[in-house]
Chains A and B, each alone.
Chain A
């Protein structure tokens, strides 16, 4: 998409500018390890040099996403070399890594030495864990920043390439709208395979902050991490805040250090948002929304401006920066599908022209490309967008997009003659998947098989065998009856 983007907000450029301004400021902290901006740059430069020597110009390079220092240096180094990164989740099964490497065409992988042997045994591309010795090369620009993979309904991960210009458009808005101070402590809770991590890294490094990575990835230790690291800028899915509330950590005045709190990835319940506002009384609280295809987040809503009488979920807000949102609805409808356009929009799916043509569309008399989000929204009289639901079966599990059809496709291959249906079961502030099969099968081995191919959040909590699917008066599968069966049966 050719739209004017301020190159100063290029993701590597914002980091390089902070290196010049704050060379000795802490840029990255993981447990006892702390690197200054100049130390992080030196590591990134070595990795860039390794990429120059060992991978084709402009190619994609995978990053094993275990949250060690080398992963962060690798992301910067790959961008510095003009290449784009493809993150691999450390906990995802090797079959998923191989599918992503094959689909992205990644030419090499950079991994922490702890994991290098393990990943080298699983993939056929070169794996680098020690880039030292490579000659330092000057930073060079590039087109693509990264490719993130999301769940695909036809049985495999779907790649979304995002350009550096897409990221720059986001950073330009966030770094000018919110006045972060140099020395701010940013949380880094999102997996590097989740595009919201791009906000963590580059909003932090673009404002001279310190990226504070929890040493232990257990969500249960977040309250002590928040306190010990004196986090001033928080970013998470609402589910994590919900967990903190159930741990009784969200109390009035509990988070005195917070100056910014961002939520994204799933609906933010109003009561949770209000509790957070009281716990972080000195913090701006912002609800962000955006699909991976529109780069990190594309609408924002200031929670403190919410009507105090509100209930339900916090509004999605308005499009940010130079982006635009449109609601496609029938003449007499108040709700419709949300369409997005602007400088943050991806050009389409990786090597998937059919899916691209379906989701990235042109409107009559309008040259812009619009992305069909599949989200049903309502536009209120003040121009604020409110989330209503989905046009398809896609669900969010802990903020991750899941196409239940991907689970069903894998199971149908194992139980060929069966009917299979995976449904979301919501309750107690979280959503879990349950799969129904109309055959009497041994379910533990099926679940174990799924664990070998899918990320943990996509594996159903259980598989329920039924004699046949209940149907509605219209002959369709009665999903509500199945959900009732899972909840109460």
Chain B
């Protein structure tokens, strides 16, 4: 799966949540912090990662995954799955 496809999958998994906050699809960029923006809470974010693990077929190491800046941005999530950490 490439970066564009993964971003599409993230947008799909977020469903109507961004729209409920008034965010348009064009505003879901790599810089958007999914937790700080209020789109997801911590539990929702972990659920998103778990759903992506199933979809992508790759398990991430949660304990290390969040020890880096920007971990909860859309770009950070893409990085988590496309780069080995």
Q: Do A and B bind each other?
A: yes
Interface of A toward B, CB cutoff 8 Å: 218-221, 223-224, 227, 239, 242-243, 246-249, 428-430, 443-445, 447-448, 451, 456, 459, 461-463
Tally of chain B residues near chain A (CB < 8 A): 21
Known: A223-B62, A224-B63, A249-B62. A443 touches B42 (CB 8 A): no
Q: How far is the CB of A216 from chain B (nearest CB, A)?
A: 9
Contact pick for B72, options A220, A223, A430, CB 8 Å: A220
Q: How far is the CB of A219 from chain B (nearest CB, A)?
A: 4
Task: Indicate whether B35 reaches chain A with its CB closer than 8 angstroms.
Answer: yes
Cross-chain pair count, CB within 8 angstroms: 60
The residue among B22, B42, B45, B67 with the most chain A CB atoms within 10 A of its own CB is: B42
Q: How far is the CB of B31 from chain A (nearest CB, A)?
A: 17
Task: Indicate whether B20 reaches chain A with its CB closer than 8 angstroms.
Answer: yes
Other A-B pairs beyond A219-B42, A463-B20, 10, CB < 8 Å: A218-B66, A220-B42, A220-B46, A224-B67, A243-B42, A247-B63, A248-B62, A249-B63, A443-B20, A448-B22
A247 to B38, CA, bound (A): 20
A247 to B22, CA, bound (A): 29
A147 to B24, CA, bound (A): 41
Chain B positions within 8 Å of A224 at CB level? 63-64, 66-67
Closest to B64 in A: A224
Task: Indicate whether B4 reaches chain A with its CB closer than 8 angstroms.
Answer: no
Chain B positions within 8 Å of A249 at CB level? 62-63
Contact pick for B62, options A239, A247, A428, A461, CB 8 Å: A247
Q: How far is the CB of A334 from chain B (nearest CB, A)?
A: 34
A134 to B40, CA, bound (A): 45
Chain A positions within 8 Å of B47 at CB level? 246, 428
The residue among A223, A227, A242, A249 with the most chain B CB atoms within 10 A of its own CB is: A223
Those 4 A-B pairs whose CB atoms lie nearest each other, nearest first: A444-B22, A247-B62, A219-B42, A220-B66
Interface of B toward A, CB cutoff 8 Å: 16, 19-22, 35, 38, 41-43, 45-47, 50, 62-64, 66-67, 71-72
Contact pick for A451, options B38, B62, B66, CB 8 Å: B38
> Could you list 24 A-B pairs, sorted by A, with CB under 8 Å?
A218-B66, A219-B42, A220-B35, A220-B45, A220-B62, A220-B66, A220-B71, A221-B66, A223-B62, A243-B43, A243-B46, A246-B47, A246-B50, A247-B46, A247-B63, A249-B63, A428-B43, A428-B47, A430-B41, A444-B19, A444-B20, A448-B22, A459-B38, A461-B20
Known: A224-B67, A247-B62. A430 touches B43 (CB 8 A): yes
Contact check, A447 vs B46: say whether CB atoms are below 8 A apart.
no
Contact pick for A444, options B21, B41, B42, B62, CB 8 Å: B21
Chain A positions within 8 Å of B62 at CB level? 220, 223, 247-249
Contact check, A218 vs B72: say whether CB atoms are below 8 A apart.
yes
A429 to B63, CA, bound (A): 20
Chain A positions within 8 Å of B43 at CB level? 239, 242-243, 246, 428-430
Chain B positions within 8 Å of A243 at CB level? 42-43, 46
